[in-house]
Amino acid sequence: MRAPGDIYLLTVDDLYDQFGEALHRYAVGLAQDEDRADDLVQETLIRAMTHLLLLERLNPHQRQAWLYKTLRNRFLDGERARRRRENLLLQLSWEAEGATYMARALDLSEVLEQIPERYREVLERQQLLGMTSEEIGRELDVPAATVRSRLRLARKWLRAHRSELIR
C-alpha cells in the first residue's frame, strides 16, 4: 500500500502479479489453446506498457476491465486475421486448381466430341457462340424451354463425367 505523497509508478510486473493468472484463464477460455493463451497475455501486457499512465489512474476493477477488453480485442483481431488468411489460401487453391484443370484439360474439340450429340449442339451454341436459349431454339426448331432443359441436363452430364473428360 502506498502512503499519501509517495511517488509510485505502475509497472507491467505489477499488472502481471495482480492479473496474470486471471488473464491467462480468460485467454484459455477464448483461444482453447494454452500456447495461444500465453501469447494473448503477453500481447496484452505489451499493449499495457504503452498505457501505463492511463492504467495508473484507474482503480483495480477498471484496470482489470481494460486488460480483459484489450486481451479480447487482441483475440478477435487474431481470429479475423486467421479467417482472412484462410480465405486467401482457399481462393489461391481454387485458382491453382483451376489452372491445373485448364493445363490438364484436353483440347476443347476433343472434349466436345465426347459429349453426347443432344447436349453438344446446345452447349456449343451457348458456350462457344454465345447464343441465347431463344436463338438456339429457333435454329434447332425446338422451344426455348427445351433448350434450357437440355443445357441443364448437359451440365449435369458434364459434372457426372468430369473425371473421364480430364486426364
The CATH code of the domain that includes 89 is 1.10.1740
Q: What mean pLDDT comes out for the span 78-103?
A: 69
Q: Tell me, what's the pLDDT at 155?
A: 83
The CATH code of the domain that includes 116 is 1.10.10.10
The C-alpha atoms of residue 107 and residue 157 are separated, in whole angstroms, by 19
Q: Tell me, what's the pLDDT at 42?
A: 96
| Of the residues 84, 101, 118, the one at which a domain ends | 101
Helix, strand, or coil (residue 105): strand
Q: Each residue of 3-51: pLDDT tens digit? A: 555 555 889 999 999 999 999 999 999 999 999 999 999 999 999 999 9
Structure-derived torsion over alpha carbons of residues 62, 65, 69, 71, reported in degrees to the nearest 10? 110
Both 97 and 114 in one domain: the answer is no
The C-alpha atoms of residue 110 and residue 145 are separated, in whole angstroms, by 28
Both 112 and 64 in one domain: the answer is no
| Top-confidence residue, 158 or 28 | 28
Least confident of 67-71, 72-76, 87-91, 134-138: 87-91
Give the residue numbers spanning the domain of 120: 106-165
Q: What is the pTM of this model?
A: 0.52
Quick one: cell of 159?
459434372
48 class by beta-carbon count within 10 Å (0-12 exposed, 13-18 middle, 19+ buried): buried
Both 25 and 96 in one domain: the answer is yes
For the chain, what is the largest distance between any 2 Cα atoms, rounded to a whole number of angstroms? Answer: 99
Confidence check: pLDDT of 81 > 60: yes
**Total domains present in the chain:** 2
